[in-house]
Amino acid sequence: MVITVTMNPAFDKTIIVDDFQKNTLNKINSVRIDLGGKGINVSKILTTLEIDNKALVLAGDLNFKELDNELNKYNLNSEIIFNLNSHTRENIKIQDEKTQSITELNEKGKIENNQVLMDFKNKFSNIISKDDIVVISGSVPKGTPKDFYRSLIEIAKEKKAFVVLDASGEQLEESIESKPDLIKPNEHELSEIKYTKEEIAKRGISIILSKGRDGFEYLDSKNYLQVESFKVEAKSTVGAGDSLLAGFVYGISKKYSLEDSLVMARACATAKVVTEGTAQVPKNKIEEYQVREGLKWLRS
């Protein structure tokens, strides 16, 4: 079983314009609204790939009906902890067709009562079993302690689960001490913490380092690989990193070799990039990009 954690879900509203300009009127071509949040995005891909998974989600109760409808639309198996008297946040994505760029405006989310964090932690502990893969992913609402993810990792490790972390800032830096099995920062996120990728790998933590259009790197205590990205026409980069991570987790769950897991990671990320918004990616698109080329071993 794969357990994904989403502490700060969102409704992603993607606004598509021809040529976005600041300080003037922009006419909208189309709008789409999808349920997002990094852990949920991972669960979407895993569900498409028919991997047994459960999304543990902290959600506002005031607009839960809309969130529940979205979870059902994607056939996601979920456990909800309610952040009482709050709304699940809404993020705005402005997609510029001319420049193929996306401007993101993300709400922060907020913890209204600290009891909800204890409830979340207890539910997290109760649903994890030995040999589960736990994916802790995304931001946390304002008011969450900086070591909250670290505490979740420690719980999961005690239960002999394989732990994957995709976080940034204090949550990432604090969590290094608890030794998750794998982390997935991008270059900017890695530069913000006190550890280098080499120092992290020496601690026994594997790293997938996202480099955007330049692909990604994989590094552990023994292996170092570069994976080139495919040159495709991007429809949306939102959720591409989450899809990459889902593909790698798929490989772990299927006991793939390292190379095959990286191939699957890139295939899922590429399929996401050529899919509009944060919509679910068709399985046939993923299969289309499962090719073993552009992997370069730097150390083994």
Position 228 scores a pLDDT of: 96
Name the DSSP class of 41: H
Percentage of residues in the chain with pLDDT exceeding 70? 99
pTM of the model: 0.91
Residue 238 has pLDDT above 90, yes or no: no
Residue 267's pLDDT is 97
How far is residue 33's CA from residue 37's CA, in Å, rounded to a whole number?
13
CATH H-level superfamily of 2-299: Ribokinase (3.40.1190.20)
The predicted structure's pLDDT at residue 277: 64
Q: What is the DSSP letter of 227?
A: E
275 pLDDT exceeds 90? no
Place 204 in a pLDDT band, splitting at 50, 70 and 90: very high
What local confidence, expressed as pLDDT, does residue 170 receive?
97
User: Which stretch of DSSP H or E encloses residue 40?
Assistant: helix 38-48
Predicted pLDDT of residue 279: 66
CA 151 to chain centre: 19
Whether the per-residue pLDDT at 278 is higher than 70: the answer is no
With 0-12 CB in 10 A as exposed, 13-18 as middle and 19+ as buried, what is 230? middle
Q: What are 55-99's pLDDT values in tens digits? A: 999 999 999 999 999 999 999 999 999 998 899 999 899 989 888
What is residue 12's predicted lDDT score, i.e. its pLDDT? 87
pLDDT one-digit tens code per residue, 125-142: 999 999 999 999 999 999
In the predicted model, what is the mean pLDDT of the chain? 94
**pLDDT, position 32:** 87
